[in-house]
Amino acid sequence: MPTKHKLQYVWLDGTEPMQSLRCKTQVIADFSGKLEDCPMWSFDGSSTNQAVGGSSDCLLKPVSIITDPQRKNGFIVLTEVLKADGTPHPSNARATIDDEDRDFWFGFEQEYFLWDPETNKPLGFPADGTEPAPQGRYYCSVGAKNAYGREIVEEHLDACLDAGLTVEGINCEVAPGQWEFQTFAKGAREAGDQIWLGRFLLERIAEQYGIAIEYHCKPVKGDWNGSGMHANFSNSFLRESGSKADYEQVCESFRPYVKEHIEVYGHDNDQRLTGLHETQSIHEFSFGISDRGASIRIPIATVDRGWKGWLEDRRPNSAADPYKVAARIIKTVKPASK
């Protein structure tokens, strides 16, 4: 009897201001496990804000495949959404990235809150409406009074590694129930794939615990850090430069395009980029060595390596689309890399 394989197709819908993940599974006999053997598929775009009922078919083009760490004989197939004529759908930001030679490398730091739907608060926040102890004790913490939801986070880390994703670390963040995972990839599309697949596994695992994932950049008002998705990036110019002047030239290239970057760095970012809580104001632009209050941080490791390394744009927030973030950074940095 042929082995039956479960292929869970995953795509981004047309929800605004943050696209949601959608998925459905097809069963294929004796599947090879190779991306090229994943068939094109279709779905009802009128149910995902991507088409109208009278012409509702949208196509799913497989672009990345990983082993499903939680399903027997399973694979997760990340797809791009195409219109019925085979051209990229307007919601398909992955198709807009200009990085054919994969010269750009990205490391994203995805922050998020584990959210209790019953209390409508993050894990660790008292259900009676009182405030927990102030932030400070929770960052990179351990212990039942400080770290909340670790079982979900640890299961997610194991699942990502078992699936072959390039997750490079996790840690508690500064608020109760706030966590982070970091990914890295050579190539902008691949880097975006890593975040979206990591988000998908996180959502699916938290679902089993009855916990939601909150990506809004400032879901808890008051004296609490917001959630970011810091974008660490380099290209061959930055990796091989050896010149402080080159780095300043690249950093300065962002200054005329603050508006264009903020437009794709996640909704409601004005609530997070206040100039407080390790952020620069949304109305200002700055860069500096080891400066977490700057728009762009020059890591000390880059300086120590003789100005050969990477930069960190600290403005993208937790709800940003990594494909759009990468595409905009590439558009700004390429002309300045000379």
Q: Other C-beta atoms within 10 Å of 166: how many?
A: 17
pLDDT at residue number 55: 87
pLDDT at residue number 101: 97
Measured distance CA(239)–CA(307) in Å, rounded: 8
**Residue 174 belongs to some domain of the structure:** yes
The answer to whether residues 149 and 81 belong to one domain is no
The answer to whether residues 142 and 282 belong to one domain is yes
pLDDT at residue number 109: 98
Of 55, 89, 123, the residue at which a domain comes to its end is 89
The answer to whether residues 164 and 226 belong to one domain is yes
pLDDT at residue number 264: 98
What CATH number is associated with residue 22? 3.10.20.70
Of 61, 89, 117, the residue at which a domain comes to its end is 89
Look at the chain and report how many structural domains it folds into: 2
**Residue 96 belongs to some domain of the structure:** no
Of 33, 54, 89, the residue at which a domain comes to its end is 89
DSSP states of 9-50: EEEE---SSSPPEEEEEEEEET----GGGSPPEEEEGGGTTS
Phi and psi angles of residue 276, each rounded to the nearest 5 degrees, phi first? -115, 175
The answer to whether residues 216 and 152 belong to one domain is yes
**Residue 282 belongs to some domain of the structure:** yes
pLDDT at residue number 53: 82
3 state DSSP class of 258: helix
Cis peptide before 17 (omega within 30 of 0): yes
Q: Which residues of the chain have pLDDT under 70?
A: none
The answer to whether residues 204 and 145 belong to one domain is yes
**Residue 97 belongs to some domain of the structure:** no
**Residue 294 belongs to some domain of the structure:** yes
Measured distance CA(227)–CA(48) in Å, rounded: 26
Return the C-alpha torsion angle 29, 30, 35, 41, nearest 10.
-10
The answer to whether residues 111 and 83 belong to one domain is no
The answer to whether residues 67 and 124 belong to one domain is no
**Residue 140 belongs to some domain of the structure:** yes
For residue 52, the enclosing domain spans 4-89
Measured distance CA(180)–CA(190) in Å, rounded: 19
DSSP states of 122-144: ETTS-TTS---SPTTSSTT--ST
Helices (H) and strands (E) in the chain, counts: 7, 14
Q: Other C-beta atoms within 10 Å of 24: how many?
A: 12
pLDDT digits (tens, 9 = 90+) for 7-35: 999 999 999 999 999 999 999 999 999 99
The two structure tokens encoding residue 95: 């198709």
**Residue 263 belongs to some domain of the structure:** yes
The answer to whether residues 203 and 280 belong to one domain is yes
Distances 103 to 63, 92, 187, 234, 245 between C-alpha atoms, Å: 19, 21, 6, 8, 21
Q: Calculate Rg over the CA atoms of the chain.
A: 20
The answer to whether residues 111 and 232 belong to one domain is yes
DSSP states of 215-240: --S-SS-SSS---BEEEEEE-HHHHH
What CATH number is associated with residue 262? 3.30.590.10
The answer to whether residues 207 and 123 belong to one domain is yes
pLDDT at residue number 338: 84
The answer to whether residues 164 and 305 belong to one domain is yes
pLDDT digits (tens, 9 = 90+) for 96-128: 999 999 999 999 999 999 999 999 999 999 999
pLDDT at residue number 234: 98
pLDDT at residue number 283: 95
**Residue 257 belongs to some domain of the structure:** yes
DSSP states of 171-216: EE-SSTTEEEEEEEEESHHHHHHHHHHHHHHHHHHHHHTT-EEE--
The answer to whether residues 32 and 142 belong to one domain is no
Q: Other C-beta atoms within 10 Å of 238: how many?
A: 21
